[in-house]
Structure 1
Amino acid sequence: MGSAAKASGPEFAAPGARALDQASDSLRIVSSSPLKGQINSAPELPTHAGALVTSKKDRSLSTLQEANKDVVRRFNKDFVETGDRAIFDDIVSPEFSNHSVQGEAPTGRDASFFFYTGIFRAAFPDVEVDIQDLFADGDTVIARKSYHATHTGAFMDIPATGKRVSIAVIEIIRLRDGKYVEHWATADMFGLLQQLKS
């Protein structure tokens, strides 16, 4: 069937005289109605403006959360795997506090740097970080990750075993202006000890 035949259906038919008369009557009713001003008025601007502001806030928050997740990725891949002090200083705020330490151990930035470079990487120098999940909520990022490394130095009073191990970690990081300011973490140390002693 050609295009002319398709255009002859009722949805494409030209309006007849009766249809035009009905349209004219409808216009006259609207023009004489006491609701004329309300019918012809545009939607109130504040409603639309509020919706636009909310949308912009949502987009801004989403952008911040993605940026924070990128910082966490960078910390793990570019610092933990290398021990680079310049990267650590760029990512970790001078006001940083690690809430995962035990007892009276220091919680500041320098103590955290020493743990990663002087203790952890000294025992597992070839560490690789596998980030399985990152979740962001406001200024906080939750990471589920694993360390994979070879035990070539003493760790927790256990001499080097040469074994390849995996350590499961869950951590929570609060960021401000793109920098770590607070940190909580739990690692499967029992699983690590089992791997080292088996």
Structure 2
Amino acid sequence: MSTNLELFKAIVERGFSQGDLTVADDVCDEKLIEHQYLTRTDLPGPQILKAQIEDARRSIKGLRFTIEAIVESGDTVWARGKASGADPRSGKPVSIDVMDVCRFANGRLVEHWGVPDRFALLHQLGALPPPPNRM
């Protein structure tokens, strides 16, 4: 049986970085509780994660997800990472921070909170005004 850290790393590496949707079948509970804003929750657990992977890889071409800090506490994994790649429309490089909290039970992902920095993505794409001059 894999540890919770290994399961989380598989989601990041196989799923988000490589686009391997089968990772969702390997790690998700059918009754996964999803808390990430704008994520579909009307699907069985593995399908939720598959949709997240597909959406992320559609939003950032050549998506690479790097774990920058990770902590396991009891049944929960807390992680901070960096998602990088290119805007699929312009080809412009983009990079955003992502925070994830994943709760596991019996070797399965049962609950997830995710916070991708969508404001940073919008700013890098020119969809938000530049920050005010701070002189």
Report TM bin, short chain: 0.7 to 0.9
Structure 1 position 102, deviation (Å): 4.1
TM-score of the two chains, using structure 2 as the length reference: 0.82
Give me the identity figure in percent.
26
**Higher RCO, Cα 8 Å, sep 6+:** 2
Structure 2 residue runs without a partner (length 5+): 128-135
Give 3-state SS (helix, strand or coil) of 1:162's partner.
coil
Cα RMSD between the aligned structures?
2.1
Give 3-state SS (helix, strand or coil) of 1:83's partner.
coil
1:106 is the counterpart of 2:41? yes
**Cα contact 1:83–1:116 (8 A) shared by 2:** yes
**Cα contact 1:93–1:179 (8 A) shared by 2:** yes
Match of 1:77 among 2, 13, 28: 13
Quote the Cα distance in structure 2 between the aligned partners of 1:163 and 1:98: 30
TM-score of the two chains, using structure 1 as the length reference: 0.58
Structure 1 position 101, deviation (Å): 2.9
Give the number of equivalent residue pairs. 125
Higher helix share: 1
Instruction: State the partner residue of 1:3.
Output: none
**Cα contact 1:98–1:107 (8 A) shared by 2:** no
1:125 is the counterpart of 2:61? yes
Quote the Cα distance in structure 1 between the aligned partners of 2:26 and 2:35: 20
Match of 2:114 among 177, 185, 193: 185
Larger Rg: 1
Structure 1 position 78, deviation (Å): 1.0
Structure 1 position 83, deviation (Å): 2.1
Q: Deviations over 1:83-117 (max 9, x none)?
A: 222222101111112112349x4254223312321
Structure 1 residue runs without a partner (length 5+): 1-63, 153-159
